[in-house]
């Protein structure tokens, strides 16, 4: 693909949105931002529109009266307008940086239109992996993984013959409570959970990292992206977050990808693929001793990871129910309605009580997603 690449960035005001803007600023001659979306942060969207002169801005919520956009910018709203922006014929690349299952419909719309999709939103693959992969196959659209571990696997696979990947391991820092006594975990407050030792991220994924639900979601994401069965997908605790993933090929040789724990590396790799230009940040210092320690996770400390692995093995709608109940439970934890330890209990009970069924279309999927959220909310009310 030639330069400049025209880019639509959905979820521009979040943490991934900010990291993406840093990559775009660095490579203005190669990446041209033409459309952005956000849930409600009108002030931030306005400043992005002014800085980059974007043509279209989508807001989910009505902006305040004093909201101002450049004259060249069109303000759009409503669900269909978001899908139209994702499928906009002007765009070469659509970056999905929306948080949660809300990212699924725009991801499908962009793939349906044959766009290159840079996918940060892991939840879309967790809830609708089959629909997403089938749409990409049918239209020939490419999915370029931007989640750091998946981008690491993607980089390790470049130039390798098809069907030679044997297994992979995604690394995890273990979060801020890696060394806490397990019995103290129920006392964790939202403020403590929102302080990740290595990464700066949005609130939902930061809590997911503390419970390791995040790594569970990422295993399911990896299953769809790299077509490996559950027994070939592994997790390793690696506290410094310098190695992001390790792949092993059929002949027993392994490759790992390393970079500092900053999302600009993965995002730049996906946005400028297959080219490599100077990065936004310095790479790792190879002359400084590297901590390359890895250990398997203790599933008793991380029950959310165990539940995600069970859902991955079970297939059907279990990953969708896992995701929906996790989203509800994390929101309830962040608003002080439930304790940290309740997050896994809510997911566990929702998975057990849910009437599991298969689904074929986005419409059927959304019905199940809604049901799972209603059930999870009723369980949250019981403990709050």
Q: In the complex, which residues of this chain contact Mg ion (CB under 5 A)? A: 147-149
Within the chain, residue ranges assigned H as helices are 15-26, 42-52, 79-86, 104-112, 123-139, 148-157, 190-193, 203-211, 213-226, 264-271, 303-314, 318-334, 342-353, 362-383
Residue 281 neighbours by CB distance under 10 Å:
13
Q: Which is nearer to ligand NAD, 132 or 349 (CB)?
A: 132
Q: Which residues contact 318 (CB under 8 A, 6 or more apart)?
A: 310, 311, 312, 351, 356
Q: According to the binding rule CB under 6 A, does residue 120 interact with ligand NAD?
A: yes
Q: According to the binding rule CB under 6 A, does residue 16 interact with ligand NAD?
A: yes
Q: Which is nearer to ligand NAD, 119 or 246 (CB)?
A: 119
CB 359, CB 365: distance < 8 Å = yes
Interface residue with ligand NAD, options 33, 34, 38, 312 (CB under 6 A): 38
Could you give the dihedral angle defined by the CA atoms of residues 148, 13, 139 and 102, in that order, rounded to the nearest 10 degrees?
A: 90
The residue number with the shortest CB distance to Mg ion is: 147
- Stretch binding ligand NAD (CB under 6 A), from 49-57, 128-136, 196-204, 291-299: 196-204
Please tell me the distance from the alpha carbon of residue 40 to that of residue 43, in angstroms, as a whole number: 9
User: Which residues 145-184 are close enough to bind ligand NAD by CB under 6 A?
Assistant: 147-148
Q: According to the binding rule CB under 6 A, does residue 329 interact with ligand NAD?
A: no
- Stretch binding ligand NAD (CB under 6 A), from 7-15, 49-57, 135-143, 246-254: 7-15
Structure tokens at 58: 């989508």
Structure tokens at 145: 């993984």
Interface residue with ligand NAD, options 33, 63, 86, 123 (CB under 6 A): 123
Pick one of Mg ion, ligand NAD, none as the site partner of residue 257 (Cβ within 5 to 8 A by kind): none
Q: According to the binding rule CB under 6 A, does residue 213 interact with ligand NAD?
A: no
Q: According to the binding rule CB under 6 A, does residue 193 interact with ligand NAD?
A: no
Interface residue with ligand NAD, options 94, 97, 212, 237 (CB under 6 A): 97
Interface residue with ligand NAD, options 21, 170, 247, 263 (CB under 6 A): 263
Q: According to the binding rule CB under 6 A, does residue 280 interact with ligand NAD?
A: no
Q: According to the binding rule CB under 6 A, does residue 17 interact with ligand NAD?
A: yes
Place of tokens 């990947």: 165
Phi-psi group of 238: left, alpha or beta (phi > 0 → left; psi -120 to 50 → alpha; rest → beta): beta
Q: According to the binding rule CB under 6 A, does residue 216 interact with ligand NAD?
A: no
Please tell me the distance from the alpha carbon of residue 299 to that of residue 42, in angstroms, as a whole number: 41
Chain-centre distance of CA 375, in angstroms? 24
Q: According to the binding rule CB under 6 A, does residue 13 interact with ligand NAD?
A: yes
The CA-atom distances, in angstroms, between 159 and each of 146, 156, 333 are: 19, 8, 44
Q: Which is nearer to ligand NAD, 185 or 213 (CB)?
A: 213
The residue number with the shortest CB distance to ligand NAD is: 14
Which residues make up the interface to ligand NAD (CB under 6 A)? 11-17, 38-39, 41, 60, 97-99, 102, 120-123, 147-148, 199, 201-202, 204-205, 263
């Amino acid at each position: 693909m030639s330069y400049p690449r025209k880019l639509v960035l959905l979820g521009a005001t979040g943490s991934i949105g900010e990291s993406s803007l840093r990559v775009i600023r660095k490579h203005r001659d190669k990446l041209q931002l033409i459309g952005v979306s956000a849930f409600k942060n009108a002030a931030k969207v306005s400043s992005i529109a002014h800085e980059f002169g974007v043509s279209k801005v989508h807001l989910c919520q009505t902006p305040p009266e004093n909201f101002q956009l450049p004259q060249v910018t069109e303000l759009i709203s409503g669900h269909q307008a978001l899908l139209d922006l994702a499928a906009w014929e002007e765009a070469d690349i659509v970056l999905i940086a929306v948080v949660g299952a809300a990212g699924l419909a725009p991801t499908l719309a962009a793939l349906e239109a044959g766009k290159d999709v840079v996918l940060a939103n892991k939840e879309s693959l967790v809830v609708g992996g089959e629909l997403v992969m089938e749409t990409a196959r049918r239209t020939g659209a490419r999915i370029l993984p931007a989640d750091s571990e998946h981008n690491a696997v993607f980089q390790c696979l470049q130039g390798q013959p098809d069907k030679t990947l044997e297994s992979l391991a995604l690394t995890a820092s273990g979060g801020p409570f890696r060394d806490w006594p397990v019995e103290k975990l129920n006392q964790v407050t939202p403020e403590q959970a929102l302080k990740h030792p290595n990464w700066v991220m949005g609130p939902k994924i930061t809590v997911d990292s503390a419970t390791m639900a995040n790594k569970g979601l990422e295993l399911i994401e990896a299953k769809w992206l790299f077509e490996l069965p559950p027994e070939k997908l592994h997790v390793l605790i690696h506290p410094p977050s310098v190695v992001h993933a390790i792949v092993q090929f059929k002949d027993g040789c392994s490759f790992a990808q390393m970079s500092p724990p900053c999302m600009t590396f993965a995002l730049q790799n996906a946005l400028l693929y297959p080219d490599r230009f100077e990065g936004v940040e310095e790479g790792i210092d190879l002359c400084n001793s590297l901590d390359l320690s890895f250990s398997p996770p203790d599933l008793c400390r991380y029950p959310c990871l165990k539940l995600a692995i069970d859902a991955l093995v079970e297939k059907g709608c279990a990953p969708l129910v896992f995701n929906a109940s996790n989203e509800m439970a994390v929101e309830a934890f962040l608003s002080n309605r439930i304790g940290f330890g309740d997050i896994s209990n809510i997911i566990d009970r929702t998975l057990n009580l849910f009437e599991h069924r298969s689904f074929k279309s986005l419409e059927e999927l959304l019905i199940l997603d809604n049901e799972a959220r209603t059930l999870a909310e009723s369980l949250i009310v019981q403990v709050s």
